[in-house]
Homo-oligomer: A and B are copies of this chain.
């Protein structure tokens, strides 16, 4: 397998972008990434797009061909492929592109992630998000993404003594990071009281424990490592790309406080990269709910199982702590346009490893990790990046 580098990145400002359509945000991110790598359309060999549910959000399937067309890439008839695994769609798209370059099939690939979630009403929005869970055994009985994660939170509190305040601190920290990110949906700090007093969604999770509904797109450009210096002075190496699955329904698992898919993907990723969890200095993890970040930092091996809440409360996961988690603001504050999220994570890590993260820059990081999750942990993908 060939070594693979990231040579370009692009991202739109996440939020409610009513003035732009799905295709417009998708194209914007892709063009930014191409400009970043100083590429033109003729250089591109293939396009991958991560997207969860354009079929329902904007009544449009076939969206990789759509983006290729309106970006001018269809003129060269390049392969355009959409990949979907609910909230992990973006991470999976990066992984497919990684394999296409590693295999020698393609040289230069644009990977985009995009979702336009604000064009539908609340009822449709809930139904669409619930389609990441098991329709026949969960969603149809009224289980939603917040309620399933609330059960996980309750169990984690019972089993490990994690407190409501510790869980809420994830939101406080991620909003603090988001305030330093000009592309974040929420660039505003919040305090613990605000989280604890926010409107209840699914006990114990309130509004401020949940990632928002977002529009947004992100893109990265991959090429073989030995071509990377043509396009950038600071190529970032993909050291590992691993993916795992678990039962779709939460009730089929022996332990709901661990996402086995995350553990398996991480184990494979650490082996591929030849590093251990302690070597990682920066990570973007899938905090679609505050409790999800606590599970993630435990399942990725950054902290012992049950200690994620305490570590967060102690400030160990903030910029300046022992490991900087979600420097972008995470899904909570940067926003969570489903298919875009996994690609946006990679964009943030590249900015950090290049030393281009502005006010939220973490100094001297060598290894960075992204964990992107679909549904209630039925899909997880882990990438490890490193400076060249």
Contacts and interface: CB of A to CB of B under 8 A. Distances in A.
B65 A105 contact: no
Given A1-B103, A62-B86, A74-B245, A379 B80 contact: yes
Contacts of A6: none
A61 B66 contact: no
A374 B60 CA distance: 13
Given A74-B246, A103-B102, A65 B1 contact: no
Contact of A260 (B62, B77, B85): B77
A17 interface: no
Contacts of A146: none
Interface residues of A, number: 65
A52 interface: yes
- A-B pairs, top 7 by smallest CB distance, nearest first, are A103-B103, A79-B243, A65-B378, A77-B264, A62-B86, A77-B244, A60-B135
A104 B99 CA distance: 9
B378 A131 contact: no
Interface of A: 1, 21, 23, 47, 52-53, 55-56, 58-62, 64-66, 68-69, 73-74, 77-86, 92, 95-96, 99-100, 102-105, 127-128, 131-136, 139, 242-249, 252, 260-261, 264, 374-375, 378-379, 381
A64 B85 contact: yes
Contacts of A102: 103-105
Given A55-B55, A69-B248, A61 B84 contact: yes
